[in-house]
Structure 1
């Protein structure tokens, strides 16, 4: 039985959810571009930290399985996918690839309310305040759905810790 170990991990999940929640709340009251992108990046990092606890690398897979079972979290949970966090964490690699593939000279970054079709590959990073989605190179990710998923996990953690 790994109850003590599991409660330590659950405590960290709770902390990361609270960090993500604070950042999500700040999205509605940002003062400038840096403030907005600090919040977005904080949300993505907090959610990725939760993801790494629940879906760790192979060496710690048993822990992830045990915690997901304990908290009744399915494998199709939105938190499992760390693609958007990786876009931000490995931004340098994404830009290098863009240049290697023949950059077209149009570079749009940190766009606010970019084209609602999100079809532009030229918008590297963007945020849509209307539907709370973050955009990276034409891909779209819903931060409100991510926030809901984190809050659902927080509820599932309550029996195991003081939340």
Structure 2
């Protein structure tokens, strides 16, 4: 296999991961689409957060592929980090993603991944005594009390998810995931000379 073919293979492997994770995210939000893209009332609060958490985990995996962390812990040489950054840049360009895409934002997903640390920090550093979590409400349901901390809150009016004060427009990020899925779907099945492909993704050869 030539160097060019190896590079093509590498990009194809990661495109398969993007295809899997975009499908994962879209599958996860299916039960709550009415609340995310319209004004349907959230009737199953626990189910809503199950779906939201699953979708955000998939989006985090997408971001890790396209925007590798600068402090990624590699067992190999620093050249691996440089290769990861170069590969991700090529993929973003090929897929038409800007460097400042909303998908790249890490604040909310880091807050979810390190929920325990955020709660411990709140307990030690904050004088707030009102702690609310797993909340879903419109603007009129947000507490005006100055000593209120929202751990996880989704605003049905603005479609913004907040985790300990860090916010993400979920509607906007999912629209970008839908478009990314469309682009990857159209790209990944194109013939690539010299590339031997095996995958569990349906339709891929």
TM-score interval (norm. to shorter) = 0.7 to 0.9
The runs of 4+ residues in structure 1 deviating greater than 6 Å are: 117-120
In the TM superposition, what whole-angstrom CA distance separates every residue of 1:84-141 from its partner, at most 9, and x where no partner exists?
Answer: 1111110011111111113422111111206456876511111223433212233332
Scaled by the length of structure 1, the TM-score of the pair is 0.87
Q: Which position in structure 2 is the counterpart of 1:33?
A: 45
Which blocks of at least 5 consecutive residues in structure 1 are unaligned?
A: none
Contact persistence 2:138–2:157 (CA under 8 A): no
Contact persistence 1:118–1:140 (CA under 8 A): no
Decide which of 108, 125, 128 is 1:101's aligned counterpart: 125
Decide which of 59, 69, 78 is 2:93's aligned counterpart: 69
Q: Determine the C-alpha separation between the residues in 1 that align with 2:24 and 2:157.
A: 23
Q: Which position in structure 2 is the counterpart of 1:46?
A: 58
Q: Determine the C-alpha separation between the residues in 2 that align with 1:44 and 1:69.
A: 23
Decide which of 132, 138, 148 is 2:159's aligned counterpart: 132
Which blocks of at least 5 consecutive residues in structure 2 are unaligned?
A: 36-41, 71-80, 190-202
Shift of 1:6: 0.9
Shift of 1:31: 5.9
Q: Determine the C-alpha separation between the residues in 1 that align with 2:65 and 2:138.
A: 33
2:126 aligned counterpart, secondary structure: coil
Range moving further from structure 2, 128-137 or 9-18:
128-137
Higher helix share: 1
Shift of 1:74: 1.0
1:107 aligned counterpart, secondary structure: strand
Q: Which position in structure 1 is the counterpart of 2:76?
A: none
Q: Determine the C-alpha separation between the residues in 2 that align with 1:126 and 1:32.
A: 15
* Greater Rg over alpha carbons, structure: 2
Matched, 1:145 2:172: yes
Contact persistence 1:112–1:127 (CA under 8 A): yes
Contact persistence 2:107–2:166 (CA under 8 A): no
Decide which of 29, 34, 58 is 1:24's aligned counterpart: 29
Decide which of 6, 9, 14 is 1:4's aligned counterpart: 9
